Amino acid sequence: MTATTASPSIPGLPDAGGVRITVAVPTFRRPADLADLLPRLLEQAAEVTAGGRYCAEVLVVDNDPTGSAAAVVAGLPGVRYVTEARPGIAAVRDRALDEAADSRLLAFIDDDERPRDGWLAALVGTWEDSSAAAVSGRVLAEYTAPVDPWIEAGRFFVRRQLPTGTAIDVAATGNLLLDLDQVRAAGTRFQSSLGLAGGEDTLFSRSLARAGGRMVWCDESAVYDRVPAERMTRRWVLTRAWSHGNATVLTELRLAPGGAARLRVRALGLGRGVLRVGGGAARWALGLAVRSPRHQARGARALFRGAGMVGGAVGVVYEEYARTGRRWRLGRVAA
């Protein structure tokens, strides 16, 4: 797609031609989700292109080395398709950065999400207003099965909501727009060693912020996250809590500037993890005593998150997205 007309000058934007946007979709063996998502993205790309200031493309990065998503993309003119054989979401996101070498802006959306009307235009509009290095938007849960009252009480799939323009210091990549000029200047990439463990988006965004990149919130830009039945279980929620706690410490370790700093991170992670385990257990017990599902659910999650932090501090890595073999391992932290 290309821009066809010029618009009046906007500070920070070129006076002529189109600002190129790549909308990237990482995917792995979700053909039905992808087939539902891509036409919506093409509509959103056409919307922002229509004004003449932007030219937008949709890019699918398939992490299946057999190229299983190719058949889905083949029926949709205007979608660019590449495969990334290295396993893990970090490798896929890095490939998207490379494939967007000629673009100024890169928007990420997950293959199991659906954009609300005006999603891309809202992200771009907030970027215009803020000149931020990154703009993050809302993620709204869309349940595909009845919700366990325990999960509903814990509000585990309710994400944050902030006024548009609010400065943030960390961002997930399920709904994120990047100014690639600023990302390249900062030298920020996704850490491949976290590709199977998770937390690569936290590390990326925090590294960008540390390099001076400003990140802001866009509340008008929202996507719906389709929560499958297999995730709507207590086991999944608590395992994810362990994984998040683990990734929190692993991220801090990678941000630490040296050996002494990493020792401090381990000590703090261990101490804070133990406190979370104790506090979570106490809240869970209180919930039992007063028959409060919310206290029981939130207490259990805090306990498991704390246990994950302890694990990360002592060198246990949980690879949540591993496709074969064991998910637990002992490992050194790469610099």
Residue 116 has pLDDT above 90, yes or no: yes
Confidence of residue 318 (pLDDT cuts 50, 70, 90): confident
Confidence of residue 319 (pLDDT cuts 50, 70, 90): confident
Q: What is the mean pLDDT of residues 17-36?
A: 94
Delimiting residues of CATH 3.90.550.10 domain(s) in the chain: 19-231
- The pTM of the whole model exceeds 0.85: yes
How confident is the model at residue 8, as a pLDDT? 31
Residue 16 has pLDDT above 60, yes or no: no
Backbone torsions φ then ψ of 43, nearest 5 degrees: -65, -45
Confidence of residue 17 (pLDDT cuts 50, 70, 90): low
How confident is the model at residue 195, as a pLDDT? 63
How confident is the model at residue 77, as a pLDDT? 86
Confidence of residue 130 (pLDDT cuts 50, 70, 90): very high
DSSP 41-100: HHHHHHHHHTTSSEEEEEEEEE--TT-TTHHHHHTSTTEEEEE--S-SHHHHHHHHHHHT
Closest CA to 105 of 187, 7, 181: 181
Least confident range of 9-18, 102-111, 180-189, 265-274: 9-18
Q: Are 161 and 42 in contact (CB under 8 A)?
A: no
Confidence of residue 323 (pLDDT cuts 50, 70, 90): low
| Element holding 244 (H helix, E strand) | helix 234-255
Residue 30 has pLDDT above 50, yes or no: yes
Residue keyed to tokens 């590294």: 207
Where do runs of H (alpha helix) occur along 155-233? Answer: 180-186, 200-210
How confident is the model at residue 13, as a pLDDT? 40
Cβ-based burial of 281 (10 A; exposed 0-12, middle 13-18, buried ≥19): middle
Confidence of residue 325 (pLDDT cuts 50, 70, 90): low
Largest CA distance in the chain: 67
How confident is the model at residue 297, as a pLDDT? 98
Q: What is the mean pLDDT of residues 308-315?
A: 94
Confidence of residue 241 (pLDDT cuts 50, 70, 90): very high
Give me the helix-helix angle, 259-290 and 234-255, nearest 10°.
Answer: 160
Q: What is the mean pLDDT of residues 318-329?
A: 67
Residue 98 makes CB contacts below 8 A (sequence gap 6+) with none
How confident is the model at residue 303, as a pLDDT? 98
- Pairwise pLDDT comparison (283 vs 320), residue with the higher score: 283
In 3-state terms, what secondary structure has residue 222? strand
For the 19-231 domain, the top CATH level (class) is alpha beta
